[in-house]
Chain A
Amino acid sequence: QQPVQSPQAVILREGEDAVINCSSSKALYSVHWYRQKHGEAPVFLMILLKGGEQKGHEKISASFNEKKQQSSLYLTASQLSYSGTYFCGTEESSNTGKLIFGQGTTLQVKP
């Protein structure tokens, strides 16, 4: 049930782009993206709902392929502040309270 994220880790230079993927074997109602810096709380980035609605961050975009149960997070022109671990969370139904997180993708942006 846990979504699978890829890659596990990415190292970038400032200004480079990155894509983080999230894949589920279950039909999904929504996909959520969070970023967590070491020792800190996860912070909300984006939610993508079945049907195409998106809510989230100004400088980060994402897509949700409902047929394939896949989502991708696009980080363009990366900044040092983008460093951290990115988690996707999936919700199978709007009726549950359960958001299931993937194992995370660690992103390191170097100057």
Chain B
Amino acid sequence: GAGVSQSPRYKVAKRGQDVALRCDPISGHVSLFWYQQALGQGPEFLTYFQNEAQLDKSGLPSDRFFAERPEGSVSTLKIQRTQQEDSAVYLCASSPRQGPTGELFFGEGSRLTVL
């Protein structure tokens, strides 16, 4: 399929563990976004990449959260020393345009549960 692929789909971590969530955007898409979606809530913006440049990381909740997109394609969201409040679905989206003004193509998300 040519859609946005995220892995793992489900991750259970013990509090204090580090996790890494991967996003494979649609090939050629310039923009990549990470969102955090708590149960019953709307997606909350975390960070935005244009190619390999991280242009906005204002939504990252703490310095335990780190995202990268070193070659301008695949992106990884890393959470260090996970806490229970980190439990959520992490959505990745990509767009062929610069910025979000256009259709965002979302992946199905990675559901993180921190015990």
For residue A101, which residues in chain B have a CB less than 8 angstroms away from its CB? 35, 42-45
**Interface residues of A, CB < 8 Å — how many?**
27
Give the number of A-B contacts (CB < 8 Å). Answer: 69
Q: Which chain A residues numbered 31 to 84 have a C-beta less than 8 Å away from chain B?
A: 32, 34, 39-44, 47, 49
Decide yes or no whether B48 CB sits under 8 A from chain A. yes
Contact of B103 among A2, A39, A47, A95 (CB under 8 A): A47
Q: How far is the CA of A41 from the CA of B107 in the complex (A)?
A: 6
Main secondary structure of the interface of B (DSSP, over half): loop
- If the complex has contacts A87-B42, A97-B50, A98-B48, are A47 and B102 also in contact, measured as CB distance less than 8 A? yes
Main secondary structure of the interface of A (DSSP, over half): loop
Q: Which of B11-19, B51-59, B67-75, B78-86 makes up part of the contact surface? A: B51-59
For residue A91, which residues in chain B have a CB less than 8 angstroms away from its CB? 100-101
